[in-house]
Structure 1
Amino acid sequence: MASPVLRTPPAPSSLACEHFAQLLAFETDCWDTHFAISNDRQDFVLLDVRAEALFQQGHLPGAVNIPHKRLNQQSLAAYDTNTVFVVYCAGPHCNGADKAALAISQLGRPVKKMIGGVTGWLDEGFSLLTD
């Protein structure tokens, strides 16, 4: 009898390759984001989509705060239409980054979600900044 893990067999390698390649087109992680910021290779706008009060309590270095409910053409007008946004929220228990990514993509702009959010950032041992 198969384990619970293999009761549903793994996808064929060709499908797995397609799936994971697509997944990486939508997501990045805390380590890659930290590396880009720390090595002067930040070629994206890091967008904290939590409430302003939470942003003030602590946010990622270089992040801009636009709560996901305020994302619209006007709030992004200062950025070129080709600007890539990397959005994050509180963490895996929060879907604010998903809502933000949806709003940004509906505006026709490129976006990725940083998985883990603030919780993941702290779990990796990285620090937050306060204003």
Structure 2
Amino acid sequence: MSPVTAMPACPPAIARDHFRRRLELETDCADVAAALEAGPPDFVLLHAVGSAAAFRRRHLPGAVHLPHRLITAERLAAWPADTLFVVYCAGPHCNGADRAALRLAELGRPVKLMLGGLSGWADEDLAFAGEDQSGGGQS
């Protein structure tokens, strides 16, 4: 028996529920990029970390800069209550997007985490907005 099969796979119904739940909570860079390219997004893309200067240098196209520590009910009042927020941060080494997602959920807002953050966006060779619009794996 290999290390892969030493622990048996769970029943398909459990796997289905698990992966459905993950897709309800997460999205990825390619799906966000496709949605942005298709036209006005049906979500708010939220850059959840960093300074205003860092945001000006490089962020995802169409993103709103609202660091997780500044998310309040008052700031969110600018969007209808059913607005989906897609949050991202620097990348897998950063938990700012998780903090933003938690805060949004605590405030009763729908939210998904974009896996990979800025690092994932660069790895997909997608274009950035801002003063430094380079992609191609640069983070």
Distance 1:68 1:81 in 2: 18
Q: CA deviation at 1:11?
A: 1.0
Aligned 1:1-131 pairs, distance under 5 A: 2-51=1-50, 52-130=52-130
TM score, norm. by length of structure 2: 0.90
Percent of residue pairs bearing the same amino acid type? 49
Task: Pick which of 34-43 and 2-11 moved more.
Answer: 2-11
Provide the rounded CA distance (Å) in 1 between the counterparts of 2:98 and 2:4. 28
Q: Residue 36 of structure 2 aligns to which amino acid in structure 1?
A: I
- TM-score under structure 1 normalisation? 0.95
Distance, in Å, in 1 between the alignment partners of 2:53 and 2:17 is 40
| Shift in Å, 1:41 | 4.9
Give every structure 1 segment of 4 or more consecutive aligned residues whose post-TM-superposition deviation is greater than 6 Å. Answer: none
Q: Distance in 2 between matches of 1:55 and 1:4?
A: 43
Task: Structure 1: give runs of 5+ residues left out of the alignment.
Answer: none
Q: Number of aligned residue pairs: give it.
A: 130
Q: Secondary structure at the match of 2:61?
A: coil
**CA deviation map 1:86-115 (0-9, x unaligned):** 000000111111110000000001000000
Amino acid at match of 2:88: Y
Match in the other structure for 2:137:
none
**1:53 CA displacement:** 2.8
CA distance in 2, matches of 1:6, 1:58: 43
